[in-house]
């Protein structure tokens, strides 16, 4: 058991950026992001026996993490923490350029206006998933994935424009 636990921890620590990014996309506020982060880790651990190694670990991780975020129910009576994005979870590398930080901060802000499925589409797209892979992850047809993704990209562009930013 201890050995399984260690292997699992090594694997998710190698790919923890996936969980961080999903938490930031799905929750607006540091505390809620931390709660979702914990929930995803817990669900990954609970689902770990279902990982048979037939697919890449990251493929399995995308599915479990996204499925968790899609139906995650916020903790009751929690006040929304409006901490600015760049103070959320220790995500931003201080060596990164200010321009990149700004772009990503605007992206995360704009993404909050998308629905949960649109967030999943954009996330998988940004993670370099092909239309086929997106379709497989979401359980929809490839054509549907392509159409939905194009619509979501347009929507995201107009949100960013509306917010007075262009890149």
For another protein, the binding residues in 125-164 under the rule CB under 8 A are 125-128, 136-140, 144, 147, 153, 156-157, 160-161
- Tokens representing 31 are 């505390």
Cα separation of 48 and 33, whole Å? 22
CA distance 42 to 33: 14
Answer for which of 116, 133, 142, 146 binds another protein (CB under 8 A) is 116
The burial class, CB within 10 Å (0-12 / 13-18 / 19+), for 76 is exposed
Count of residues that bind another protein according to CB under 8 A: 65
- Which CB sits closer to another protein, 28 or 68? 68
Residue 57 within binding range of another protein, rule CB under 8 A: no
Quote the crossing angle between the two packed helices 142-162 and 116-126, to the nearest 10°: 100
Ramachandran angles phi, psi of 76, nearest 5°: -65, 155
Q: By CB under 8 A, name the binding residues for another protein.
A: 5, 8-9, 12-13, 16-17, 20-21, 35, 38-39, 41-43, 45-47, 50-51, 60, 63-64, 66-68, 70-75, 89-93, 96, 100, 103-104, 107, 115-118, 120, 125-128, 136-140, 144, 147, 153, 156-157, 160-161, 166-167
């Amino acid at each position: 058991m201890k050995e399984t636990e260690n292997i699992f921890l090594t694997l998710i620590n190698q790919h923890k950026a996936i969980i961080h990014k999903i938490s930031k996309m799905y929750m607006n506020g540091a505390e809620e992001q931390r709660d979702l982060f914990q929930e995803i880790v817990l669900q990954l651990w609970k689902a770990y026996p279902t990982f048979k190694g037939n697919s890449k670990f990251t493929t399995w991780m995308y599915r479990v993490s996204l499925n968790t975020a899609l139906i995650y129910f916020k903790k009751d009576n929690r006040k929304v923490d409006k901490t600015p994005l760049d103070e959320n979870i220790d995500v931003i590398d201080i060596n990164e350029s200010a321009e990149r930080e700004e772009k990503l901060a605007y992206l995360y802000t704009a993404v909050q206006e998308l629905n949960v499925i649109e967030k999943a589409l954009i996330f998988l797209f940004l993670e370099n998933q092909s239309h086929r892979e997106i379709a497989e992850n979401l359980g929809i047809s490839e054509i549907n994935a392509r159409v939905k993704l194009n619509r979501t990209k347009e929507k995201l562009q107009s949100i960013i424009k509306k917010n007075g930013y262009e890149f």
